[in-house]
Amino acid sequence: MKIKTSSDYMSSLQSINPVIYYKGEKIKDVTLHPATAPHVRAAAMTYALASQAEHHDLATATSHLTGRKISRFTHVHQNVEDLLKKVKLLRILGQKTGTCFQRCVGFDGINAVYSVVYEVDEKLGTDYLERFKQWLTYIQDENLMVVGAMTDPKGDRSKNPSEQPDPDQFVRVVERRNDGIVVRGAKLHMTGAVNSHEILIMPTMAMDEKSKDYAFVGAIPVDAPGIIMVFGRQAGDDRRDKLETIDVGKPRFGSVGGEAMIIFDDVFIPNERVFLDGETEFTASIVYRFAAHHRSNYGACKTGLMDVLTGAVSYLCQIQGAAKGSHVRDKVTEMIHLSETLYSSSIACSAEGVPTESGAYMVDTMLANVCKQNVTRFHFEVARLAVDLAGGFIATLPSEHDLKSDEVGHLVKKYFTGVADIPVEERIKIGRLIEAMTGGTALVESMHGAGSPQAQRIMIFREGDLTKKVSLAKALAGIPSVKPKQEAS
């Protein structure tokens, strides 16, 4: 692996030159800019863990393509053990960063595309898999961070891509050349985009035959000509300056994943980096498999965040002298119960994984959707309990400027003191951490990341096999199963 350490990763980002805007101005160095640097540091943790002996086995894998040691975030799952190691790794990363570490979308995109293009080649005689293997070997050997780009703006959602008044509301091929394709459009909410090296572009939905130009998969460096990124705002981002580190809540790491809009302004993708082009019948499989992989992750990474939140509110209750209260213990117990229940969903869908035709392993898709549906409830309930226990002061704390003020600082300290032997600064810091992890952007991402709750409910109903369940009930009740009468021809 060329990039081995956090420092290597930082240096690699400084060696490329993507076009990134934030609040109307260009960002020159994402490793230093106050809006992006915390997200860079969170992603850097994925590199740091790989070099630590205690986490090396989880954070690395052996490439089935080359036999070389690689980052797990560039690996194609070869067995159930790979799926389980991924889950365990994600929980640890969530615990260490308290936020999104951003490499999962590209990771899941790699696995989805690999398994599907194998099937495209088998049916149609194309050479997409070989192209993909060549690109993936490069990603693995260099240990590059890939942003998976799937979500399109969608425009008028009652219309298909080919029916949109503005055809650019879905990323599309606008020109086909002998040596490649030219694409135009945008992808929204792209986690880790500004601090990735490569973009893996995928369709956002199943495409019909009229939408061939939208049915493509391709990869391109983030600083390729025609790519423009606009970094999104997050709750409390104006607090990030050199003075207000406490007010941020998590001084080292970002609020969520550092999402950005990626604009493709007639971007050329050479043939060797095109892995699907017009084969509409396979777009549904890419979306389906990507979504399942990605939804299974949430039961692990979000559990890591919930672990931090549970620890934070428990310590705050100690500071405030309330930790021994029976109601406190009961609510903390519920937080732990919800966290472990969510984690068990992620473990379950991984343990029930099965091989695809390509040999790459898929999680159990029903359980993956159940896992993500649980995230949209359990994470919110843990956050609610944390706010309940913390008290209203987390929403009304004076700023760090006031804490350090010569005029009123001593008064802030006096009236925000808890138990006598714990510094008031610790109460304020832990309060800000809880504020950061329960407000604004953090919970929105838990709700809508990897698809909104309704998307999971559709899949749960679709895969629920109600016909079988009805048959089971009839059998126990002694009701004969009668096949529906066929109408006379």
* Residues assigned a catalytic role: 100, 104, 191, 259, 294, 298, 301, 445
Contacts for 347 with CB less than 8 Å, ≥ 6 apart: 84, 87, 299
**One-letter amino acid of 394:** I
Give the containing element (helix H, strand E) for 266. Answer: strand 259-270
Question: Maximum Cα–Cα distance for the chain, whole Å?
Answer: 93
Q: Is 417 annotated as a binding residue?
A: no
Alpha-carbon gap, residue 112 to 438, rounded angstroms? 32
Contacts for 61 with CB less than 8 Å, ≥ 6 apart: 69, 70, 71, 72, 75, 82, 85
Q: Radius of gyration (Cα) for the chain, nearest Å?
A: 24
Let me know how long the chain is: 489
Contacts for 77 with CB less than 8 Å, ≥ 6 apart: 83, 86, 111, 353, 360, 361, 362
Please name which of 175, 176, 193, 172 lies closest in space to residue 184, comparing C-alpha atoms: 172
Please name every residue paired with 200 in a beta bridge, in sequence order, or none if there are none: 148, 219
Q: Which tokens go with 159? A: 């219309």
Tokens 């580190």 belong to residue: 245
Alpha-carbon gap, residue 332 to 339, rounded angstroms? 11
C-beta of residue 218 within 8 angstroms of C-beta of residue 425: no
Please name every residue paired with 216 in a beta bridge, in sequence order, or none if there are none: 277
Tokens 């425009």 belong to residue: 155
The percent helix, strand, coil of the chain (3-state, each to 5) is: 55, 15, 35
Q: How many CB atoms lie within 10 A of CB 324?
A: 9
Q: Which tokens go with 424? A: 């008031």
**One-letter amino acid of 285:** S
Mark the binding-site residues for FAD, compressed into ranges.
191
